[in-house]
Amino acid sequence: MSEIEIGISDNQDVLEIDRAKLRRTVEYVLGQIRRHDSTGNAGVSPAPYHANESAGENDSSAGTAPASVSLAIVDDGKISKLKEQYFGAAEVTDVISFDLRDNTKGEREFPDCEIVVNAQCAAREASRRDGDPQAELNLYVVHGLLHQLGYDDQTEQQAEIMHEKEDQLLEELGFGTVYGGTG
């Protein structure tokens, strides 16, 4: 059985992080991925992948995992600096994802990525929506993963498809929906 390497770093003090929920979200989303369909969006079906919390420690399969996901939980200040450094705009955003694969030609189905999520934004948005900050933070993780799996949200149609998938996954994970099918 293949492994998913998941690392989580908490670099903020706004929100208490539930690492188990974040880990479960990554495991679930990647466990549902079968292959990309002809539209570039990932198909889903149960797949025999599981996470190994100590991946890389005395593990002969380290480095051969089909997926490696690093989650960085940050605040407004840190994500704004990253957005300026990599995208030229010092703006606060909810999530940024980086493809870390050596080969970006799409030959590897599973991601090797870093997903940076903004806990301060999650707390703010959850308060505005009268929701759960953990659910909002997990939305950002799902959103970042979906980008790494080929989803995009640049057009209205792409955003609608991506939001439907986010709602589906969040509902299945027990967080409820965010977009409620409104796209």
**Structure confidence by residue, pLDDT tens digits, 36-73:** 333 444 444 322 223 333 333 333 334 445 789 999 99
pTM metric for this prediction? 0.80
> What is the predicted pLDDT for the residue at 59?
37
> What is the predicted pLDDT for the residue at 180?
73
> What is the predicted pLDDT for the residue at 44?
41
* Pairing verdict, β 42-44 and 33-36: antiparallel
Beta bridge partners of 6: 69
Helix runs in 3-151, H state only:
19-32, 76-87, 119-129, 133-148
Average pLDDT over residues 73-82: 98
CA distance 92 to 107: 33
> What is the predicted pLDDT for the residue at 110?
73
30 and 69 in contact (C-beta within 8 Å)?
yes
Which of 2-6, 30-34, 70-74 shows the lowest per-residue confidence on average (mean pLDDT)?
30-34
Non-local CB neighbours of 30 within 8 Å, separated by 6+ positions: 4, 49, 67, 69, 110, 111, 145
pLDDT digits (tens, 9 = 90+) for 99-124: 998 765 555 567 899 999 999 999 99
> What is the predicted pLDDT for the residue at 57?
35
Q: What are phi and psi of 173, to 5 degrees?
A: -80, -5
* DSSP character at residue 96: E
Residue 22 has pLDDT above 80, yes or no: yes
Rounded to 10 degrees, the C-alpha dihedral 134/88/145/61 comes to: -110
